[in-house]
Structure 1
């Protein structure tokens, strides 16, 4: 288990009301059209733990923010008791999404990007056996998991369906109470007054985020039409527009290092998922499949029938759809890691975390534009994906790195449009906002990396989004397993198909990406709450839990 982290009370996260922070833009507190810059790759991709960005990463950040604020108060030395209330969707599926564990990890001082998996898996058993919560700053307080955490699914606060309140006491006296709203993708808003009917809302943001968002971008855009217009005026690709905007707020080294880190984490999640076996936690007895599938794909030639017999589809080495099998593998591997609560990249959510890595894996394993030599090259071992040199020591490595960066930057543009004009949260718009958004981002990224024009990139994203409309979020048992894991694989293949369709066209199409995004928003608003991450309808009530 990690050493108990120390809390830096001199520079806590800020509660910024009305400031154009990423969380404020996502939550709609600051209109995207009034923000000085679009959301960044640093906002769209973040490293964290599974299984949910809104129900795990966000609540963990809320817990850490609460403990940081509390540690700076004079009465902290008298802290005796803490309670946690989980409302709405957090209350409905919080057990399956490990929301309780996430908040406790945050209160104990851990950050979702850096906490070790050993600590993640050992904290709840430790608290259950000792009856004490190792609070931030080295203190321990009595804590009863059964009574001090309350799941209140029928209580929905007016500001957002994903809400939690943390309260700290010194004996009978209140020290601090905060209500937080996890608005999707790990972003968190905080309530700064105690009136639930008329909440005053501020974004939870670091000083770095606040500073970055206040720097005007050279190529601002809040719609796809504006993005295409910026490309037309500047002669830049979508990826180049995003890069120029990024470099107006940070150094090129910082940007490229972060993109490398995101890609490495995605590929490591693929490797970890392929390497792991067993049953996923949560009680559904869902077996991990990636390891067995990888073995089958590596032994594909052995599936051929004996001499003189007709060969089967699975034994044909040059099966024209064999790349799809590997894409399925990559997506399954990442989402099994996510379901296990392990480290992945929120892209743009945890429930959809396997889509972009799977399509990125397809790019580097099968596309010559990224240095692959298909059909001669086959990702027949883990080195085909996980051990990718992203430095510029060789021409192929430099080509691969550039392709990966172009992919992620173009995906950033599309994700930013969806986040700010609709939603990526399953609790708000269903799964169309999660895997639908990820599929659109992946389609755009792949189209960009394969040399597509801005119009083709926008077209690819629109195709993927249009054909994700109406997807419900109905996780069985409140777990991010059924249908989530397989759905990521389907969405990844859809993204590749959308990219290829767009690349064969000239970018002209009837339905614009802006229209598809607005349609997704309207569809989500019309969707019954039982289909929006409450496990009260759909597959969640028709699949018998064993």
Structure 2
């Protein structure tokens, strides 16, 4: 089942679909070889990036993610500084040390291929891996897909209707839901909140104390990412010469008090969201929420309205669980991949999740929470993903700041009435899905349209 802990993953920047996913694919490919008893016979490996992974992979550091995965690094435990040292050694020696103990030749310039000619069959983020023995015979030839938010799937899994990604379907058991209507009915029938329904589903996977401790870890990682982003100055990597702005804005905010509540709201949400996404753009440690490109929105709301306000841990749990339940609906019924949906599937979904989570913390009913989530998405429909230079910087960093403010406003609007919204959350999710399917591929994380072609890179 998809879990809250799948929606929120600790990883590294700059992209969940183009960095975290490919790293996990590389790890899994080698694990499959080891499971089949083939790893010790491997003499050469090759990796081909297809579709969006090819078009924007260089700017998203996809090759580096693949190398790290082949070296045994995992997103949730990777230390960025250690990773950079390992990458430098790989480029200097052109050797990989595999889990089986042997060292093989690996030339990043020859063994990783940007395949612009082969259209991925089942998802825009395709990745084909091959392993050869010393005689040049193919030991394994597998195609995987990075399906957004760090989720991955093999070709076989996507071709199997009941197993459409690595972690399977939605929540299971008596509190299982596949739509917002199901979720609201469960809340009504059992007198539970959305957070309590999802927590009951999580209880089928692990002890409740473990789930809550993991949510605390997620919240701490979000807060730590903001803290780093507020003090790290300089120019972001990639060649666009984008300057980190969060530290300067933070210094202004802490040196002079805001004149009114609205000004404080805008400035603090802006600086917190930008701090996260500047860290993400620099390849730092972030939490996919539900993706890296949209990683600043949920933490910004968390920091301003919960952590700064020193609310009890239970409110943090409510916020994250409610947001995760909404994210699960988008993952089940549409997609959280920018390469499939455009940025509405990333920033739009994160805005929807944050709005619903905040409405829940403010005491909103399940209906009001669903209304907040609907508002958060309705006004992000059609949002394109056209990163300049293939980098998760322009317009991504500012876009997170604006979406954080929009999420807070959506929550406030939703709490003004108990009446169900004219447009339901299920309807807006389906609308997002259809819009994403209709959207031209050049506006879906290929950097072939929009800002990416109208802004000079350097």
- TM-score past 0.5 threshold: yes
**Structure 2 residue corresponding to 1:131, chosen from 94, 110, 114:** 94
**Structure 2 residue corresponding to 1:219, chosen from 175, 185, 189:** 175
Q: 1:240 to 1:319 in 2, by over 3 A?
A: closer
Residue 326 in 1 paired to residue 282 in 2?
no
**Structure 2 residue corresponding to 1:70, chosen from 4, 13, 33:** 33
Deviation larger for 431-440 or 142-151: 142-151
Residue 509 in 1 paired to residue 451 in 2?
no
**Pairs aligned (count):** 456
Residue 459 in 1 paired to residue 362 in 2?
no
State the Cα distance separating 1:203 from its structure 2 match: 6.5
Larger radius of gyration: 1
Matching of residues 340-355 of structure 1 within 5 Å:
340-355=282-297
Deviation larger for 291-300 or 74-83: 74-83
Q: 1:76 to 1:412 in 2, by over 3 A?
A: closer
Show the counterpart of 2:454: 542
State the Cα distance separating 1:104 from its structure 2 match: 1.2
Residue 423 in 1 paired to residue 335 in 2?
yes
Show the counterpart of 2:212: 256
* Residues 453-498 of structure 1: per-residue CA shift (max 9 Å, x gap): 1111000000010000000000011111100011001111100000
State the Cα distance separating 1:133 from its structure 2 match: 2.2
Residue 100 in 1 paired to residue 63 in 2?
yes
**In 2, Cα distance between the equivalents of 1:187 and 1:362?**
29
State the Cα distance separating 1:230 from its structure 2 match: 1.1
Residue 110 in 1 paired to residue 52 in 2?
no
Show the counterpart of 1:406: 318
Residue 277 in 1 paired to residue 242 in 2?
no
* Residues 392-434 of structure 1: per-residue CA shift (max 9 Å, x gap): xxxx6xx421111000111111111111111110000100000
**In 1, Cα distance between the equivalents of 2:303 and 2:77?**
24
State the Cα distance separating 1:199 from its structure 2 match: 6.0
State the Cα distance separating 1:180 from its structure 2 match: 0.6
Deviation larger for 435-444 or 341-350: 341-350
State the Cα distance separating 1:174 from its structure 2 match: 1.4
Please tell me the root mean square deviation across aligned C-alpha atoms, in Å: 2.0
* Residues 366-399 of structure 1: per-residue CA shift (max 9 Å, x gap): 6xxxxx2xxxxxxxxxxxxxxxxxxxxxxx6xx4
State the Cα distance separating 1:204 from its structure 2 match: 7.0
Tell me if structure 1 keeps the 8 A contact 2:148–2:291.
yes
Tell me if structure 2 keeps the 8 A contact 1:67–1:108.
no
Show the counterpart of 1:304: none
**In 2, Cα distance between the equivalents of 1:540 and 1:338?**
19
**In 1, Cα distance between the equivalents of 2:414 and 2:382?**
22
State the Cα distance separating 1:120 from its structure 2 match: 2.4
Q: 1:324 to 1:215 in 2, by over 3 A?
A: closer
Residue 60 in 1 paired to residue 23 in 2?
yes
- Match of 2:48, SS state, is strand
- Match of 2:382, SS state, is coil
The TM-score with structure 1 as length reference comes to: 0.80
The TM-score with structure 2 as length reference comes to: 0.95
**Structure 2 residue corresponding to 1:151, chosen from 105, 111, 114:** 114
**Structure 1 residue corresponding to 2:354, chosen from 425, 428, 442:** 442
**In 2, Cα distance between the equivalents of 1:110 and 1:130?**
18
Residue 233 in 1 paired to residue 158 in 2?
no
State the Cα distance separating 1:256 from its structure 2 match: 0.6
State the Cα distance separating 1:76 from its structure 2 match: 3.0
**In 2, Cα distance between the equivalents of 1:47 and 1:271?**
16
State the Cα distance separating 1:73 from its structure 2 match: 4.4
**In 1, Cα distance between the equivalents of 2:171 and 2:399?**
38
Tell me if structure 1 keeps the 8 A contact 2:3–2:171.
no
State the Cα distance separating 1:215 from its structure 2 match: 8.3
Tell me if structure 2 keeps the 8 A contact 1:215–1:248.
no
Tell me if structure 2 keeps the 8 A contact 1:453–1:507.
no
State the Cα distance separating 1:272 from its structure 2 match: 1.0
Tell me if structure 1 keeps the 8 A contact 2:30–2:39.
no
Q: 1:525 to 1:74 in 2, by over 3 A?
A: closer
State the Cα distance separating 1:222 from its structure 2 match: 0.9
